[in-house]
Amino acid sequence: MKILGKFPSTRLRRVRNSDWVRRLISESNLSANDLILPIFIRDGYNKIEEIKSMPGVKRYSLDRISKILDQAERFKIPMIAIFPYTPEKKKNNNGLEALNENNLVCRSLRLIKKKYKKFGVMTDVALDPYTSHGHDGILINGKIDNDKTLDVLNNQALLQASMGSDVIAPSDMMDGRIGSIRKYLEKNKFVDTKILSYAVKYASSFYGPFRDAVGSKKKLKGDKKTYQMDIRNYNEAIREVGLDIKEGADFVMVKPGMPYLDIISLIKQNFKVPVFSYQVSGEYSMIINAIKNKNLNKDSIYESLICLKRAGSNAIVTYFALDIAKRIKSI
C-alpha cells in the first residue's frame, strides 16, 4: 500500500483536533442496533439473583423478567438471548430436560413472545445446561458422541422454534449440526427460523463466569477441547465458517470476542455474511472488576465494544448491552 502525503503539507492531527471532525470521519460506530442482550433465567417466583462472578448481572425468575425486558424494549435492543439455570434435579446424562416443552427456555419463550413484539429472541442449542456432566453433547464411554448428539439437537431446535424462538443458536460445536438442524426445520415447515451458528467457538479459559451463571461449572468433567476449537488455530476458522454457511447458517459467531479480533477480521474479509461476536463472561468480569477497583474508567466499556465493531462485527452479544444503549441514547 502506497502512503500518500508528506509532512508538513499533510498533518493527520488536523482531522483530530475537534470533536465535530472526529465524529464526521469516524470509521466505526456503535449504536443500539449492534447489541444483543444475554439474559439468565431461573426457576422459582419473585427471584432476582446476583451472579457473584459477574457483578451487576442477575438471574431472573420468569415472573420478574419483565424488569429487564422492559428496559431492552425501551432502549431498542434488537435481540435478546436466553440462557437457563437448570436445577440439579432436572439434569441427567443425556440432557433430556432440553426436550421438555415446559422447561425454562420454553416457558420464557411463550411469555416473551406473547408480550414483547419489538425485539427478536435467540435461544441456545446445546446440552450443557441440562447434562449432569456439563458437556454440550451425549457422553458415551467418556467421549462425546457427535452423531447421537445431532438427533437431540434437532429436536431441541425444533422445540424452541415451535415455542417462538426467532434465532436458533447452536453453540455445541458438533460437526454437521447446522445442516442437520436446517433440514429438520425445513422438513417441519419452519422455513423462516434463522440460524446463528457459533461457527468459531474456541476452547477458551474466558467462559468460567458463564458456567457459574448456568450452573454447569462444577458439573463439567474434563474439558471441551475435543469439540471446541484449539486456541492456537487461525485457518481452521475459515473451514468451520465455510462449512456452516454451506449447511444453511444465516449468521456466524466468533467467541470469545476481544482475544480473537484477528479471527473476526479474517471471517469478515473472507465471507460476505453477517458476523457476530460474543464479548464473553470472562471479558465482562475483567472489565467490570477493573472499573470497580478504579484501574479503568467506564469509557473502557465503549472502547471494548468499538474494537469488536472495528474488527468487523455486525452485532455483539454483550452483558454491557443495556449500559451502552443508555449511554448512546444520552449522547
State the amino acid at position 174 in one-letter form: M
Q: How far apart are the first and last CA of the chain?
A: 37
Q: How far is CA 284 from CA 291, 296, 320, in A?
A: 11, 13, 8
- Catalytic residue from among 201, 224, 268, 309: 201
DSSP string, 104-117: HHHHHHHHHHHH--
The residues, any chain, with a CB within 8 Å of residue 150's CB and separated by 6 or more, are 174, 176, 177, 180
Distance CA 117, CA 105 (A): 17
Block residue for cell numbers 449500559: 323
The residues, any chain, with a CB within 8 Å of residue 270's CB and separated by 6 or more, are 238, 241
**Phi then psi for 142, rounded to 5 degrees?**
80, 5
- Catalytic residue from among 90, 255, 268, 309: 255
Q: Of 253, 277, 154, which is closest to residue 197 (Cα–Cα)?
A: 253
Q: Looking only at Cα atoms, what is the longest distance across the chain?
A: 72
183 is catalytic: no
Task: Decide: 161 and 189 in contact? Cβ < 8 Å.
Answer: no
Please give the grid coordinates belonging to residue 88.
440439579
292 is catalytic: no
Task: Decide: 203 and 171 in contact? Cβ < 8 Å.
Answer: no
Write the Ramachandran bin of 87: left for phi over 0, alpha for psi from -120 to 50, otherwise beta: beta
Q: Give the residue numbers annotated as catalytic, written as ranges.
A: 201, 255
